[in-house]
Chains A and B, each alone.
Chain A
Amino acid sequence: MKDSEILERIGRGDERVLDHLYKKYYRMMTKIVLSNNGTEDEAKDVYQEALLAFWQKAASGKLVLTSKISTYLYSICLNQWRKELDRKSRLSSETVDGEEHQTHDAKERLKIVMECIGELGDVCKNVLTHYYFDGMGMQEIAKKMNFANTDTAKTKKYKCKKKLDSLIKSKYTTEDFFD
């Protein structure tokens, strides 16, 4: 598969391309971490994060690729692992209490949001995640999800989002969120 074809298929939200890429570059990318004091799990994490960052950019059409996909992925992995090594060395020298407290709150809120998303139906989940994570346009979403047309996708997205908002608002207490 050529890089241009891969990008075009990602634009349509074709996840099989993700599988294909994942397999194809697994050894190459995990080696970056493995040969730089990383474990197999860390290597996998870094690679997955990098691949999903690439996917997200490519799916939303924001990616202007000036090199091969493999080169691009390689540089993301390399940067991510450098960052992680940096973070590790900082963690061992100092811990910031305030920061930790804040992330705890954020974690709690994220948990509530995730639970609410879990309560939605599959169609809503897919429409919303395709819109917000993959950054897909209404036209692509309509095609991918077999909606009659773009308007149906828009309506679905609007209704699903409203439902999710109200679910979350009902679970968020004022202290939880409205500071």
Chain B
Amino acid sequence: MTKLTQEQIDNYHSGRMNESEMADFENLLESDPAMKSESNLQSDIVSGLKEYRKNQLKSRLDAIDVGPTWMEFAQQSVLMKSMGGVIIASIIGTGIYLYGERMEVLSTAELATVEALEVESIEFVWDLGEEEAESNNSLEKPEQITDQASKKIAEAVPQIEEQSDVVNEEVTAIANNDSEKTEVFKPVFEAPDAESVEDDAEFSATDLDKLSESSDNAADEQPIDVQTELSKGNKIRYKYYDGKLFLNGDFDKAPYEILEINSARDRRIYVYHLGSYYKVDIADKLTELPKVTNPDVISELKLLRENK
């Protein structure tokens, strides 16, 4: 067998022939039994190589955690229900945090957009400082919360509408987004049911256009969606994917702050809590939030945080 035919067989099986070359090759093959058996052997080998690589890539994909399955989500919510009042109380507390956040976002968004003209800038920063004391009280007196909360909703909604008229497009986007969030979390106050917290926007957003659009914009204007869960202990654990951040930590003692650094190419997210900075990476499992140790990054974040 000449080298040329060997090469032809190779090109044929590796898909490096055009249609007319393939037709010629197949004709030739019919009249040459030796070449045909060699070609069959090569067909096996190439299939094997393809299969091998496919398996390799599949196990790579299998190793990627894509987040909890439907069943796991259901189990989680059942678990939460069974834990009863304590959890519900902390969810209410969390809810108030989130409302506070939203209002803060609105008031700082206008300010932040002015600064956000450089390539790398803070899109927005929110601070929960003022809400902290209130939610501490409210955890002790559950009846009051509902009152306070509904008052907050009443205050927050017109504020959102008002602001979106005045500020530029970007802020409008944030405001709209926030009013969406307001709807998502509303049930927490009307009927303190753990399940409604789990019912997050991610699942309703599986519509083709909506999803691809939001992911295209992932690097720019969309602020991340934060959901918190209170727990004791000094570790902060988190999950982050699809622009949604879950935080689990002791935010009773001190509020957390989210720092988003958006540049043309990527988006970096940091959490500030009790004097430390943490880096948020994509994580589908509840993971401990890693502390930032690089002094350069810390000083950059400090600068950003203090200049907000």
- Do the two shown chains form a genuine complex with each other? yes
- A contacts, CB < 8 Å to B: 1-2, 15, 18-19, 22-28, 31, 34, 40, 48, 51-52, 55, 60, 62, 68, 70-71, 74, 109-110, 113-114, 116-118, 125, 128-135, 161, 164-165, 168-169, 172, 177-179
Please tell me if the beta carbons of B50 and A133 are within 8 angstroms of each other in the complex: yes
Please tell me if the beta carbons of B53 and A133 are within 8 angstroms of each other in the complex: yes
Which candidate, B78-86, B89-97, B203-211, B251-259, is the interface stretch facing chain A?
B203-211
**Chain A residues, Cβ within 8 Å of B14:** 131-132, 135
Give the size of the chain B interface in residues (CB under 8 angstroms): 42
B66 interface residue (CB < 8 Å to A): yes
**Chain B residues, Cβ within 8 Å of A135:** 14-16
The residue in chain B whose Cβ has the minimal distance to the Cβ of A35 is B206
> Which 3 pairs of residues, A with B, have the shortest CB-CB distance?
A113-B48, A129-B53, A133-B53
**Chain A residues, Cβ within 8 Å of B242:** 24, 27
**Chain A residues, Cβ within 8 Å of B215:** 24, 70
B20 interface residue (CB < 8 Å to A): no
Contact of A109 among B37, B44, B49, B202 (CB under 8 A): B44
**Chain A residues, Cβ within 8 Å of B196:** none
9 chain-A/chain-B pairs, Cβ below 8 angstroms: A2-B216, A18-B60, A24-B215, A71-B208, A113-B45, A117-B48, A133-B54, A165-B45, A168-B41
**Chain B residues, Cβ within 8 Å of A125:** 52
Q: Quick one: given A15-B60, A68-B212, are A168 and B53 in contact (CB under 8 Å)?
A: no
Q: Quick one: given A52-B58, A131-B14, A133-B49, are A27 and B44 in contact (CB under 8 Å)?
A: no
Alpha-carbon separation in the docked complex, A164 to B41 (Å): 12
Alpha-carbon separation in the docked complex, A28 to B64 (Å): 16
**Chain A residues, Cβ within 8 Å of B51:** 110, 114
B282 interface residue (CB < 8 Å to A): yes
**Chain A residues, Cβ within 8 Å of B52:** 114, 117-118, 125, 129, 133
The residue in chain A whose Cβ has the minimal distance to the Cβ of B284 is A23
Alpha-carbon separation in the docked complex, A34 to B284 (Å): 20
Contact of B45 among A74, A133, A168 (CB under 8 A): A168
The residue in chain A whose Cβ has the minimal distance to the Cβ of B52 is A117
B1 interface residue (CB < 8 Å to A): no
Please tell me if the beta carbons of A164 and B45 are within 8 angstroms of each other in the complex: yes
Please tell me if the beta carbons of A28 and B60 are within 8 angstroms of each other in the complex: no
A-B contact count (CB 8 A): 110
Please tell me if the beta carbons of A129 and B49 are within 8 angstroms of each other in the complex: yes
The residue in chain A whose Cβ has the minimal distance to the Cβ of B14 is A132
Q: Quick one: given A113-B47, A117-B52, are A28 and B208 in contact (CB under 8 Å)?
A: yes
Measured CB to CB, the closest approach of chain A to B28, in angstroms, equals 19
New A-B contacts (16) at CB < 8 Å, excluding given A25-B211, A68-B212: A23-B66, A27-B203, A28-B211, A34-B70, A40-B69, A52-B58, A110-B48, A113-B45, A113-B49, A114-B48, A117-B52, A128-B49, A131-B14, A132-B46, A132-B53, A177-B44
**Chain B residues, Cβ within 8 Å of A52:** 54, 57-58
The residue in chain B whose Cβ has the minimal distance to the Cβ of A132 is B49
The residue in chain A whose Cβ has the minimal distance to the Cβ of B33 is A178
**Chain A residues, Cβ within 8 Å of B189:** none
Please tell me if the beta carbons of A132 and B50 are within 8 angstroms of each other in the complex: yes
Measured CB to CB, the closest approach of chain B to A174, in angstroms, equals 10
Measured CB to CB, the closest approach of chain A to B224, in angstroms, equals 15
Q: Quick one: given A70-B208, A172-B41, are A55 and B48 in contact (CB under 8 Å)?
A: no
Q: Quick one: given A60-B15, A70-B208, A129-B53, are A22 and B45 in contact (CB under 8 Å)?
A: no
Alpha-carbon separation in the docked complex, A113 to B255 (Å): 60
Measured CB to CB, the closest approach of chain A to B101, in angstroms, equals 25
Which one of B40, B45, B206, B219 has the highest number of Cβ atoms from chain A below 10 Å of its Cβ? Answer: B45
The residue in chain B whose Cβ has the minimal distance to the Cβ of A125 is B52
Measured CB to CB, the closest approach of chain A to B251, in angstroms, equals 28
Which one of B37, B70, B206 has the highest number of Cβ atoms from chain A below 10 Å of its Cβ? Answer: B206
Alpha-carbon separation in the docked complex, A125 to B70 (Å): 37
Alpha-carbon separation in the docked complex, A135 to B74 (Å): 43
